[in-house]
């Protein structure tokens, strides 16, 4: 049997779960402990099949809409946030609900409401159809907000009152792409109101900067995350933009195309904010089966953010 080739792994830090994801998962776990199964969850609590499957095994039932939730059982809203119509419908049915919306997403909701209350039209930078965007647009009456997805959108958008507009953003976007769109909007509309604090969340920001650090040295990068995870897909884009052409998104070790890594000497590994560390360890173990592996952790910063649970689950 031929000797294994050497493989040096660059492990990005921070990676994986953020405080909002930790909180959302804990809300489901504690609700199951307190109320017993089943506990219903509207949409995936976070965008990760491994996490969703584990919670399903514990007794969580995932549904697309409240119509599928029977009377008399608790229901949890996902970390991405929901339109105002969802809790209103739950209240009309006297459903007991818990809101697992990430507090940093809720901050964007409150910003949008404040701007709307001041009579401003709002431009939302984000991806059409993403649950967070659907939830943010659903905070205000229809027509109060316009979605900006691309630089072309930013250049072509027409507003009726350029002196009375504001922008907010999805929390999981590419920092670089968003900065370009914001610059275009500010050049076109000098009076546009800006968020008091960056809307793109600390975890998205940190993970993108960390992947830039490893992309400088890596021959290839694996990003652990789900295909529908916005922040994970952005990590792949950032890595490619930094010059690491072989940058791919994988859900599990079993998804790795080992032929692509056959001649790789240095492999970067990171994980999106909804990917658990156990999947990173699984990938490293799979590498060790095929290579003589050495691991180097590249640390941008150590995160210590935590968010409180809803009062009824905090005890």
Is residue 174 part of an annotated ligand binding site?
no
Is residue 244 part of an annotated ligand binding site?
no
Burial class (CB in 10 A: 0-12, 13-18, 19+), 313: middle
Is residue 231 part of an annotated ligand binding site?
yes
Is residue 156 part of an annotated ligand binding site?
no
CB atoms within 10 A of CB 209: 15
Is residue 8 part of an annotated ligand binding site?
no
Query: Active site includes 132?
Result: yes
What does the alpha-carbon distance between residue 315 and residue 309 come to, in Å, rounded to a whole number?
9
Pairing of strands 220-224, 145-148: unpaired
Under 8 Å CB-to-CB from 244, ≥6 apart: which residues? 215, 218, 219, 220, 221, 268
Residue whose token pair is 């909007």: 185
Is residue 315 part of an annotated ligand binding site?
no
Q: Which of 44, 111, 132, 242 is catalytic?
A: 132
Is residue 209 part of an annotated ligand binding site?
no
Q: Which two three-digit tokens encode residue 175?
A: 């920092």
Is residue 274 part of an annotated ligand binding site?
yes
| Selection from 117, 105, 120, 104 nearest residue 167 by Cα | 120
What does the alpha-carbon distance between residue 68 and residue 71 come to, in Å, rounded to a whole number?
10
Taking phi first (over 0 means left), then psi (-120 to 50 degrees means alpha), and beta for anything else, what does residue 119 get?
left
> Which parts are annotated binding residues for isopentenyl diphosphate?
47, 80, 130, 229-231, 274
> Which parts are annotated binding residues for [4Fe-4S] cluster?
18, 102, 201
Catalytic (active-site) positions: 132
> Which parts are annotated binding residues for dimethylallyl diphosphate?
47, 80, 130, 229-231, 274
> Which parts are annotated binding residues?
18, 47, 80, 102, 130, 171, 201, 229-231, 274
């Amino acid at each position: 049997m031929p000797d294994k080739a050497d493989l040096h792994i660059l492990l990005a830090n921070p990676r994986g779960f953020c405080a909002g994801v930790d909180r959302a998962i804990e809300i489901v776990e504690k609700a199951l402990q307190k109320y017993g199964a089943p506990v219903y969850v509207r949409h995936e609590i976070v965008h990760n099949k491994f996490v969703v499957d584990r919670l399903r095994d514990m007794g969580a039932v995932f549904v697309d809409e409240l119509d599928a939730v029977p009377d008399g059982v608790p229901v949890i809203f996902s970390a991405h946030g929901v339109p105002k119509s969802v809790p209103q419908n739950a209240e009309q049915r006297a459903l007991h609900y818990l809101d697992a919306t990430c507090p940093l997403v809720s901050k964007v909701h409150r910003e949008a409401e404040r701007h709307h209350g001041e009579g401003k039209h709002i431009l939302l930078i984000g991806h059409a159809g993403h649950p967070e965007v659907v939830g943010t647009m659903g905070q205000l009456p229809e027509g109060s907000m316009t979605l900006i997805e691309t630089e072309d959108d930013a250049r072509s958008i027409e507003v009726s009152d350029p002196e009375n507009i504001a922008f907010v953003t999805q929390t999981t976007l590419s920092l670089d792409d968003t900065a370009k769109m914001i610059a275009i909007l500010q050049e076109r509309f000098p009076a546009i109101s800006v968020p008091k604090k960056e809307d793109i969340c600390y975890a998205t920001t940190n993970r993108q900067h960390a992947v830039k650090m490893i992309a400088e040295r890596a021959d290839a990068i694996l990003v652990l995350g789900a295909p529908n995870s916005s922040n994970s897909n952005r990590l792949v884009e950032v890595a490619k933009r930094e010059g690491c052409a072989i940058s791919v998104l994988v859900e599990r070790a079993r998804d790795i195309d080992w032929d692509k890594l056959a001649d790789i000497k240095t492999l970067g590994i990171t994980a999106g904010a909804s990917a658990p560390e156990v999947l990173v360890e699984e990938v490293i173990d799979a590498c060790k089966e095929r290579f003589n592996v050495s691991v180097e952790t590249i640390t941008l910063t150590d995160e210590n953010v935590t968010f409180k649970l809803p009062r009824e689950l905090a005890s």
